[in-house]
Amino acid sequence: MSSLCAQRVVKEARFAVDYDQPVRRLAAARPVNAIGLIAAEHSHASLRGSRDGATWGPWQQVVLGHEGGTVVWFEQGVQEVEFQAGSTLRVLFIDPGPSSRQSTSEPIVSRAGWGCGPECNPASPPVYAPVTHLVVHHSAGGNSATDWAAIVRSIWVLHVRGNGWNDIGYNYLIDPNGVTYEGRAGGEGVVGAHFSGVNTGTMGVCLMGTYSTVPPSAAALDSLSRLLGQQAQRWSLDPLGQTLHTASGLTLNVISGHRDAGLSPRASGATECPGNGLYTWLPALRNRIERTRACAPSLERRNYCFGGAGGSFPIAVEVNPGCEIGVSGGAEWVRVRDGRLIADPNPAPARRGTDLRIGGSVIQVAQAEAGVEQLPCVARGGVVNAASFDARPLALGSIASLFGEDLWREGAPPSVTVNGRAATVFGAVPGQLNFALPAGTQTGSARLEVVRQGIRSPETMIWVTEAAPAIFAAQNFDDGSLHSASRPVRPGRPLIIYLTGIGANRALPWEVRIDGAPAEGLFLGPAPGFLGLGQANVAVPTNLSPGEHRLEIIVSGAASPPLPLFTGPLNSN
């Protein structure tokens, strides 16, 4: 294997937007396998390559504005590249050299194993900090290759030679085969360059590939779960916790996506990383890791809200036999005793809050200022898709259900704001509100508040994504009846599906699957007359046997919970 000290940027060029000549061709002195793209803003581009200037490969769609840049891989090598882009680009022709066959044989491939020996150590000493948050990325490059170690080397060249960074930005990288690679040198706790300029306190892991419209491979997800589980244990982190990330000033999930930094004014900008197909999987990832945590208590709730007069709440907690749990952290005004959480009266004219841990699991406590009654309290994880109540992020343009305590009282309707924008509230009872996510909400982290008769709830962080569909109901096209086991659809006839979470961008790719097989999707878009409601028209296959089946709508890599689909004989009504 060639060492990175011998690697170099074969050529650096600049692509400037020219609307009179939208396609521009650039060439290097010799063939290379990697093209590095650096853009100042989030956008998309298309490019294709040729080895001889005569025969061209297919156009590839690329996400730009990715932190550190994007590497596009050409398996056969290219010497000329054609571009179409809506923003100015720095273009690097990178030669990573071939990899040895033994480079991926280690449990975690060392830097030397993927071709980065002592000669490419950081130019200045690494910086260290305790890890409080684990951040997931995608590389925004291709999803198929035969030499992933060479792609890791290409990313190193892009970050170090192209951006002038001290080292590769990520702490670890994982390829679609599930192979894990050591990233930034220095060992545990080294501060990387991956979280929009607010890196202190984070460990960043990058799944190589683009997951904007497809989910990662099972092998990659297995390795990601294992790595993050090890890191959570190493740093005594709660996989289901939400805690303050000091560098960004945001209360974030302990396991977050790169885009979650974008709400912070300290961050360098917004990004779509790690892509909708990966970002919507993060709640399942957190639960998967939590199940591996030894003696982790099962908590019925993760947050409590008190009035200024104080009081107490019972704490419902289940502990595995043989496990002992303790209480740690928290402020002096709150304590746990005899199975209850107790808060002293607040004498101050300001609200207060604290985190405490029960068996290592984080509990958030908020209290109103002196003289203010019980706060409206949004449940942790209580802002969900109204059709499924699942834990995935809310999709742009979707209908949400919000659960909690004391959200509504007789006399005045409550209000909901997201990042300061008023949401349309459809209905309210004391424990639940339904609302439409406001237009213009950006993906990633968002701040939500409920106001009940002039009293604001504690700020709640929610998570927003491009698409996360869920189905309310289906209607048989032929007679307009509600689809059910007693009213099945005939094979070969259309079915109308009402859902939410399809996203605000009508250009997002979508598909229909019945029992895992592709089916014909006729239409996907807004349902007329109701804010946030979507409609999908589906042609039921003519060869589908009578009985019960599973139908899924998949938008931008995120699948809906399955809808039971009932088919009858061809002559059924």
Percent of the chain exceeding pLDDT 70 equals 97
Q: How confident is the model at residue 561 (pLDDT cuts 50, 70, 90)?
A: very high
Tell me, what's the pLDDT at 573?
A: 47
Same domain, 126 and 237: yes
Do 53 and 114 belong together in one domain? no
Residue 552, token pair as written in the block: 């899924």
Res 224 pLDDT > 80:
yes
Cα gap 426→371, rounded to integer Å: 31
Res 404 pLDDT > 70: yes
Residues 146 and 78 in one domain: no
For the cut 70, the answer to whether the pLDDT of residue 163 exceeds it is yes
Query: How high is the pLDDT of residue 372?
Result: 95
Residues 389 and 346 in one domain: no
Model confidence at 133, in pLDDT bands (50, 70, 90)? very high
Whether 572 is in a domain gets the answer no
Residue 437 forms part of a structural domain: yes
> Last residue of a domain, which of 465, 480, 500?
465
Q: How much is the average pLDDT of 49-77?
A: 92
Does one domain contain both 187 and 257? yes
Last residue of a domain, one of 50, 73, 95: 95
Q: Compute the distance between CA of residue 252 and CA of residue 260 in angstroms, rounded to an integer.
A: 8
**271 in the same domain as 302:** no
pLDDT recorded at residue 105:
62
Q: Which DSSP letter does residue 489 get?
A: B
Tokens linked to 464: 């927003």
Q: How far is CA 563 from the centre of its chain?
A: 24
**What DSSP character marks residue 374?**
P
Is pLDDT above 50 for 1? no
Residue 208 in any domain: the answer is yes
Q: DSSP of 110-167, one letter per residue? A: -TTTTT--GGGS-SS---B----EEEEEE--S-S--S-HHHHHHHHHHIIIIIT--SS
Q: Distance (Å, rounded) from C-alpha 11 to C-alpha 173?
A: 26
Per the DSSP assignment, residues forming a β-bridge with 286 are none
Q: Which amino acid is at 179?
A: V
Whether 68 and 185 share a structural domain = no
User: 157 and 222: one domain?
Assistant: yes
The pLDDT tens digits of the residues spanning 251-281 come to 999 999 999 999 999 999 889 999 999 999 9
Whether 572 has a pLDDT exceeding 70, the answer reads no
> Into how many domains does the chain fold?
5
CATH number for the domain that contains residue 82: 2.60.120.260
**Better-predicted residue by pLDDT, 461 or 6:** 461
Contact criterion met (CB below 8 Å) for 147 and 98: yes
Residue 447 and residue 390 share a domain: yes
Mean pLDDT calculated for residue range 332-353:
96
Scanning 235-352, the segments in alpha helix (DSSP H) are: 276-279, 282-290
Helix 282-290 vs helix 218-234: crossing angle, to nearest 10: 50
Assess whether 278 and 320 both reside in one domain. Answer: no
Q: Does a structural domain hold residue 190?
A: yes
- Give me the mean pLDDT over the 203-207 stretch: 98
Phi, psi of 475 (to 5 degrees): -130, 130
Q: What does the alpha-carbon distance between residue 257 and residue 280 come to, in Å, rounded to a whole number?
A: 10
pLDDT at 98: 87
Q: Using CB atoms within 10 A of its CB, is residue 39 exposed (0-12), middle (13-18) or buried (19+)?
A: buried
Q: What pLDDT, on a 0 to 100 scale, did the predictor assign at position 101?
A: 64
Residue 573, in any domain of the structure: no
Q: Say yes or no to pLDDT of 102 above 70.
A: no
- Residues 20-42: what's their mean pLDDT? 90
Mean pLDDT of the chain: 93
Name the residue among 111, 173, 104, 183 with its Cα closest to residue 141. 173
Asked whether the beta carbons of 220 and 115 are under 8 A apart, the reply is no
Q: Do residue 354 and residue 498 come from a single domain?
A: no
In the chain, the amino acid numbered 195 is F
Whether residue 6 has pLDDT greater than 80: no
Q: Is 546 left (phi over 0), alpha (psi -120 to 50) or beta?
A: beta
Structure tokens at 33: 């396998």
- CATH code of 460's domain: 2.60.40.10
Alpha-carbon gap, residue 132 to 202, rounded angstroms: 6
Q: For residues 217 and 279, state if they share a domain.
A: yes
| Cβ–Cβ under 8 Å, residues 223 and 174 | yes
For residue 255, what is the domain's CATH number? 3.40.80.10
Other C-beta atoms lying within 10 Å of the C-beta of residue 136: 27
Among 450, 465, 480, give the residue marking a domain's end: 465
Which residues span the domain enclosing 340?
A: 298-367
What residue type is assigned to position 150 of the chain?
A
pLDDT at position 7, please?
63
Do residues 551 and 559 touch, judged by C-beta distance below 8 A? no
Q: How far apart are CA 456 and CA 502, in angstroms?
A: 30
Q: Is residue 372 part of a domain?
A: no
pLDDT at 473 over 70: yes
